[in-house]
Structure 1
Amino acid sequence: MRSTLLALALAASATRVFASCAHGTFLRPRAENGTVEIATFGYTGNIGPLNWAALEAPVNSVCATGTRQSPIDMVDGVFTLLQGSDIQLTVNDMPEGADFENLGTTVEVITQGGTLQVADKTFELQQFHFHLPSEHLDAGTSQAMEMHMVFQSAAQEIAVIGVYINVNDAPAASAAAAAAATTTKTKRSRSRIFGRQDPASNNTAAAPATTTPTALLETLFSTVDQISTPGTKVKTPPLVMSEVVDFLKANAFQIYSGSLTTPPCSEGVSWHVSTARLSVTPTSFAKVRDVIGFNARFPQNTPGQPNILMLSALGSAAAAVAAAAAPAAPVA
């Protein structure tokens, strides 16, 4: 895993790569002068995911050739379940607020300390940012948003905690209060479209969800309209991280090895997709949507399967050959 990331880091040093998911890590260090750098990739048209590999060749080539790409559909068999009590997760509160930046492809909070310890590995928190709608699917279902908390180890390995965010029209409350009132829902039966089995025969985790909007997110998004222009930043009100952290640790994480969901799509990323759910009010969701727009990479194949862009290219080539070999239609 480390060799894959290091090779991409060396290649990236020779060209200009903007990676939202890796921003602040060794793959994409922050500008020393504090400038908010605007990403050069996007999510639609010629700069969208279908063409990421060509935007910065060969650095981004794994976007089209990698076999452990993210995001994926989180179904039974593609992840292992890890209880929150089996990890050590801490994130410092930010009583003076934090820098909240618009990178053009997402909005990002520069954190002020935090660690994720899994087994014998310790990762340091670099930042957290948001995707709309969610990038990972929850058994075939997209969620309103997804938060990515990006960590880096001293050995230059990357781990990301993914947290689904739903829309809730109840009054905002703290995550601690929400955790005390957590409701549990069973994942819906697998649809035949996705070829899933009845979850009763599997060990799929239930999905705890906050019953009221999350105070941290409501506080943060109260300022998002102040960074509506890419390249701008604002200082947030005080951010209380500990309540959300406690809520996450009280639940479980779905673990798998994947990739960054933005260029250069580096593989070897340790994903921890939470079974818990945070939520925001409809007003806050609308404010974030108006700033971010659409910024979700389409779901990739199950880890270990061929890259879907490679399969698409082969299919297109086969169709072109078949069309060329077909007899010409008679002229009327």
Structure 2
Amino acid sequence: MFSKYLASTIAAFLGISNAACNYGTSEFPREPNVPASKFSYTGLTGPLNWYGLNETANAMCDKGMNQSPINIVTTNATITHGASVSLNIPSYPGGADFENLGTNVEVVVNGTLIDANKTYSLAQFHFHTTSEHRINNEYYPMEIHFVLEAADKTIAVVGFLIDFGPTDPLLSSVFASVSEIPSPGNVTLTGPLDFSILQYHLTHNTIYRYEGSLTTPPCSEKVKWIIGTKPLYIDVDTYKEVKKVVKFNARYTQDGLGQANLLENAATELNR
């Protein structure tokens, strides 16, 4: 009873969460000023209580049965060649807006994804540490998500895992100014951005596909996930600089697609 009361009290102060993974889409339009996140990844505002923060808006966080992220294995994701999709993001020689939203840092750029004769428009891309998805049970140090929306409001996310190694030029340019946005609401510019490495990775390698959800509140389902099997790379020193700002912001691994939601299952077991 106390925990439910505390959750409702928190919800009254916080309202619907900002800075969700689909920030910049029609569901969460971009605001004139950068909105700091009103949820977190720890404690009573973390993933275990996202449902409690707003039981109406965040219902799928507790009850959804096709939630993300997942442990990707050949039995729960379709593996196809990346040439089946077309990701086109123009270069930004002057850099792009780089924002600290509290739970993540994101870059605001335009672009398109064409998949199955359907076009999605890019809203932004952001980062998670550690990776949210796992491949055959293994985490990666980071993950990058490109969030796109079609004219019918459906969402697609193109993700790339990030492993340790010499930093790819794209990530080097993005994170060159990460120390300039140490606090929620801070905005700066990235270095020059060239996305050709992403297009190369997709068209020359296989991809994982599955239908899941947003990995932040409101945890909406029917999200098309496309994840590259070829990782990007970041060196340890750059990673440490990123971690000073981003810290930990990964939702826990969900149950198998179509299986019982882990939170709802836990609540049922506790109430027996």
Normalised by the length of structure 1, the TM-score is 0.76
Q: Aligned to 1:269, which of 223, 246, 255?
A: 223
Distance in 1 separating the partners of 2:52 and 2:129: 24
**Alpha-carbon distance change, 310 to 16 in structure 1, aligned in 2, over 3 angstroms:** closer
Deviations 1:182-204 (A, max 9, x none): xxxxxxxxxxxxxxxxxxxxxxx
Q: Aligned to 2:193, which of 228, 239, 244?
A: 239
Q: Aligned to 1:124, which of 121, 125, 129?
A: 121
Correspondence for 1:68? 66
Q: Aligned to 1:96, which of 90, 94, 97?
A: 94
Deviation of 1:17 after TM superposition, in Å, equals 3.1
SS of corresponding position for 1:143: coil
Unaligned runs of 5+ in 1: 1-14, 169-211, 319-332
Q: Percent identity?
A: 41
Correspondence for 1:87? 85
- Say which one has the larger Rg: 1
Give yes or no for contact 1:162–1:272 (8 Å, CA) kept in 2.
Answer: yes
Are 1:38 and 2:55 an aligned pair?
Answer: no
Distance in 2 separating the partners of 1:93 and 1:56: 39
Deviations 1:29-55 (A, max 9, x none): 001x2x110010000001000000011
Q: Aligned to 2:112, which of 115, 130, 133?
A: 115
Deviations 1:210-238 (A, max 9, x none): xx420110111111011011110101121
Q: Amino acid of the residue matched to residue 27 of structure 2?
A: L
Deviations 1:138-192 (A, max 9, x none): 1100000000010100110000011100111xxxxxxxxxxxxxxxxxxxxxxxx
Unaligned runs of 5+ in 2: 1-14
Are 1:290 and 2:244 an aligned pair?
Answer: yes
Correspondence for 1:173? none
Give yes or no for contact 1:131–1:295 (8 Å, CA) kept in 2.
Answer: yes
Give yes or no for contact 2:177–2:188 (8 Å, CA) kept in 1.
Answer: yes
Distance in 2 separating the partners of 1:262 and 1:135: 11
Give yes or no for contact 1:106–1:129 (8 Å, CA) kept in 2.
Answer: yes
Equivalenced residues, count = 258
- Runs of 4+ deviating beyond 2 Å: none
Cα RMSD over matched residues?
1.1
**Where do 1:11-22 residues align within 5 Å?**
16-22=16-22
Distance in 2 separating the partners of 1:58 and 1:67: 17
Q: Aligned to 2:149, which of 130, 152, 171?
A: 152
Q: Aligned to 2:131, which of 122, 130, 134?
A: 134
Correspondence for 2:203? 249
Distance in 1 separating the partners of 2:116 and 2:80: 11
Q: Amino acid of the residue matched to residue 139 of structure 1?
A: N
Deviations 1:49-75 (A, max 9, x none): 000001122100110000000000001
Deviation of 1:127 after TM superposition, in Å, equals 0.6
Are 1:162 and 2:159 an aligned pair?
Answer: yes
Give yes or no for contact 2:19–2:36 (8 Å, CA) kept in 1.
Answer: no
Correspondence for 1:328? none
Deviation of 1:19 after TM superposition, in Å, equals 4.1
Deviation of 1:114 after TM superposition, in Å, equals 1.2
SS of corresponding position for 2:138: coil
Deviation of 1:244 after TM superposition, in Å, equals 2.7
Give yes or no for contact 2:19–2:35 (8 Å, CA) kept in 1.
Answer: no
